[in-house]
Amino acid sequence: MHTFDAIRQRRAVKHYDPAYQISAAEEEQLIDLAMQTPSSFNIQHWRLVRVSDPALRQAIRALAVDQAQVTEASLLYVITADIKAWEKEPGRYWRNAPQAVQDMLVPWIRPFYEGREQLQRDEAMRSVGFIAQTLMLAAKAMGYDSCPMIGFDIDKVAALIKLPSDHALGMMLAIGKGTQAPFAKPGYIDRELMIIDNHF
C-alpha cells in the first residue's frame, strides 16, 4: 500500500475478528518497521509490553470500560517509555555511527537531560507517539487495522504489567483484522486554525 493511502485509510477500528491471528513473521515485520521510528538523540525510549496472556487481556479489558478490541484484536501492546533511558548506557544508541559522530553527540546527551525532569518525560511521551503512529501506518500498509487507546485506568494497568518506577505508560495499541468499517471521518478543524504563520 502506498504511504499516502495508509495515512488516509488508517482509522481507530473498534471491532476485530478474535479468531484471526497475525503470524509471528508478520509481527516481526511490524516490529522491524517500528524500529525505524525516530527519537530524540536516537534514545528509543519506547518499551512495548506485548500482552499475550488471555487472563491479563481480560483484566485489562475490565479496566478499559470493557472495550472489545482489548481481547479481540490479534495483538495488544501497552506502549510505555523509559523516562531515564537517556542515562542508561547512552553510547549504545550511537554504536553504529562513525566515531566522530559518536564523539560529538554522546557527550551532549547527559547535559541536555540532566536535572530537567519535565523534558525527560516530554521526550519519552513524544517517543511513544512516534512509535505508535509508525505501528499504525505499518499495520495499515500490511492490511491490518489498529486502535490507539487511552480510555483505561492507567495506574491499575501499570500495576498489572508491573511498570518500573522510572517508566511511564503512554497508551495501548490494538492491532488485528477489523470486522466493521468505521464511520466516516468526523471532521477537521479549519486550516486557518491549524496553521499559524510565524506567531500567534
Quote the distance between the C-alpha of residue 146 and its chain's center: 11
Domains and CATH numbers, the chain: 3-194 (3.40.109.10)
pLDDT band at 105; cut points 50, 70, 90? very high
**Cα–Cα distance, 32 to 191 (Å, whole number):** 35
pLDDT digits (tens, 9 = 90+) for 131-189: 999 999 999 999 999 999 999 999 999 999 999 999 999 999 999 999 998 888 899 99
Is this structure's pTM higher than 0.75? yes
Is the sign of the CA dihedral 34, 35, 39, 45 positive or negative? positive
Quote the distance between the C-alpha of residue 38 and its chain's center: 12
**Cα–Cα distance, 173 to 74 (Å, whole number):** 11
pLDDT digits (tens, 9 = 90+) for 17-64: 999 999 999 999 999 999 999 999 999 999 999 999 999 999 999 999
What confidence score (pLDDT) does residue 1 get? 86
**Cα–Cα distance, 10 to 133 (Å, whole number):** 10
pLDDT band at 103; cut points 50, 70, 90? very high
